[in-house]
Structure 1
């Protein structure tokens, strides 16, 4: 599918997991519609679906977002939703230690159950409540580094890092390929006859840090930005 101006549309099936009330639905609505409701969100039943098309520098990305219910009674349905996913975003509440424990369990489950090429991302939501933060930053960082995760602290309420979180997932495969090519070129220039093998699930911090200075807009050479409801 042509996104205009020579851009090629890539589809990404993105599935959200996490405990109930961590703000998964609010994150999706902030990203797709740019709004936040102070009214309590109704609990998701099973799964909710949204999609949005955003434009990067030389391609457009269509996010097909599956927002799964956090209630324990729906967790048996999870394999139905993450089957064939390109990326999974696990969300926890930075003011709730138990939700971080649950997020770690989700990451471990996904690592063993889904294809190796899936992008795994972690969002510490409710950063607007940072003065009530109960999850130790060091614990988070260690877990992120050990599991090669894309990670950001987000706020569905203020919008902080919400767009960056989703765009980092869309850009991550390109960053991996760029690093892989650089390593191959380096090996060639060094006179190696064989290409070195690298772990293409490179440091998540690279993907996240690359967006730190971009703000929460979607300018970045954007040729279109539309919401598909």
Structure 2
């Protein structure tokens, strides 16, 4: 897959300074393909024997947006009900959310409203939310019309995309859109607070906002326990 699109150069960042770290959570019911979407975006991989995620794990990918080097830290939260109390704590500090359902399973779409409600309750009010209908390659098994999802997204003020983690369709573009929107929110709030829009070596303090933007050097992940469900 081409890793350069719409001006987002994602290669050769090893020697570059990270301007921002954006935390994005991937949520939704179990078995909708959250881990596969994350793997496709972060590593351009698809694991055929992927197992259910236990707890929380994350992967990263570094991109350039409007001249700023941004590390996207994507957290994969387990969708099973028994983990909901655990994963709710991980909404804290999230600047974006990928809310995933399976286009072949209507109940996963019917539960989207509940996930949005949970996001509104636990995440910052400025969080950027992308509704994703995954498994779009299974056209013959479609159970959720695109029109239903578009109507819901418009009603809730969400971005929307249909993706296929299997072949990679629209996965990059969905993540890039969220990251670009996050950058726009951060820049606007920084300007409104009289601050600067670059990350520098320190956290960017946004007056009147719960959003925290931290540099790579300040990133704290000691509370996160990574349990890999797929080694491919």
TM-score (norm 1): 0.71
- Summarize the Cα distance change of 1:63–1:177 in structure 2 as closer, same or farther, 3 Å threshold: closer
**Secondary structure of the residue that 1:121 maps to in structure 2?**
strand
Residue 42 (1) aligns with residue 51 (2) = yes
| Structure 2 Cα separation of the partners of residues 27 and 95 of structure 1 | 16
Q: Which residue of 2 aligns with 1:67?
A: 76
Q: Which residue of 2 aligns with 1:12?
A: 22
| Structure 2 Cα separation of the partners of residues 111 and 143 of structure 1 | 15
Q: Which residue of 2 aligns with 1:211?
A: none
**Secondary structure of the residue that 2:82 maps to in structure 1?**
helix
Q: Which residue of 2 aligns with 1:130?
A: 139
Question: What per-residue deviation string (whole Å, max 9, x for no partner) do you get for residues 160-186 of structure 1?
Answer: 011111101111145568999xxxxxx
TM-score (norm 2): 0.70
Q: Which residue of 2 aligns with 1:165?
A: 174
| Structure 2 Cα separation of the partners of residues 119 and 159 of structure 1 | 22
Question: What per-residue deviation string (whole Å, max 9, x for no partner) do you get for residues 115-138 of structure 1?
Answer: 111111111100111221111222
Q: Which residue of 1 aligns with 2:38?
A: 28
| Structure 1 Cα separation of the partners of residues 53 and 14 of structure 2 | 35
Question: What per-residue deviation string (whole Å, max 9, x for no partner) do you get for residues 31-72 of structure 1?
Answer: 111111222x11111011111111224112211111011111
| Structure 2 Cα separation of the partners of residues 64 and 8 of structure 1 | 12
Q: CA contact under 8 A between 2:101 and 2:112: conserved in structure 1?
A: yes
| Structure 1 Cα separation of the partners of residues 184 and 139 of structure 2 | 30
Question: Residues 1-229 of structure 1: matches in 2 within 5 Å?
Answer: 9-39=19-49, 41-174=50-183
Q: Which residue of 2 aligns with 1:200?
A: none
| Structure 1 Cα separation of the partners of residues 62 and 16 of structure 2 | 15
**Secondary structure of the residue that 1:128 maps to in structure 2?**
coil
**Secondary structure of the residue that 1:11 maps to in structure 2?**
strand
Offset of 1:9 from its aligned partner?
2.1
Query: What stretches of structure 2 of length at least 5 have no aligned partner?
Result: 1-12, 190-232
The alignment covers a number of residue pairs equal to 177
Moved over 4 A (4+): 3-8, 174-180
Bigger drift between 105-114 and 169-178 goes to 169-178
Say which structure is richer in helix: 1
Query: What stretches of structure 1 of length at least 5 have no aligned partner?
Result: 181-229
- Summarize the Cα distance change of 1:139–1:52 in structure 2 as closer, same or farther, 3 Å threshold: same
Q: CA contact under 8 A between 2:25 and 2:97: conserved in structure 1?
A: yes
